[in-house]
Amino acid sequence: MQGGVTDPSVSIEVSIETVVEFGNNAKPVTIVENSSINIARVIQFGGTGTVDATIVQNGTRNYVDVIQVGGTTNAAIGQSGVNNIADITQVGNSTNALLLQIGDMNTGTVQQFGRFNWLSIFQFGR
């Protein structure tokens, strides 16, 4: 065989995680990726309260983008399937978002501005 060696027992898993945090109460961002080719990006600028994000990705080619600015701001994203996209932007205080995507090719976009916002989105694709 020319050009290389093929080993069927070797699996390639590529995940890209980018986390940028600034502020007084920066909390650890939790990212769990249980499959290949997933991307998660979190940018947080905290204020007086905690700012945190939790992301769980099961499947392939899932993408999460979280931008949070303010105090006591939280985001939780769960993806299970293929080609899901979650985009959350929160600016303000006491702002929370929960986005759950089950299935394939779901797209969820959240933009919250102000104070005391709470949002839950549950998407079930094919």
Mean pLDDT of 12-22: 78
pLDDT tens digits along 80-107: 999 999 999 999 999 999 999 999 999 9
User: DSSP character for 28?
Assistant: P
Q: How many Cβ atoms are within 10 Å of 123's Cβ, its own excluded?
A: 17
What is the reported pLDDT for 11?
Answer: 54
Query: Lowest mean pLDDT: which of 40-44, 46-50, 59-63?
Result: 46-50
Question: Tokens in use for 4?
Answer: 């290389």
Burial class, 95, CB count within 10 angstroms (exposed 0-12 / middle 13-18 / buried 19+): buried
Q: How far is CA 69 from CA 6, 18, 21, 103, 122, in A?
A: 47, 17, 10, 30, 24
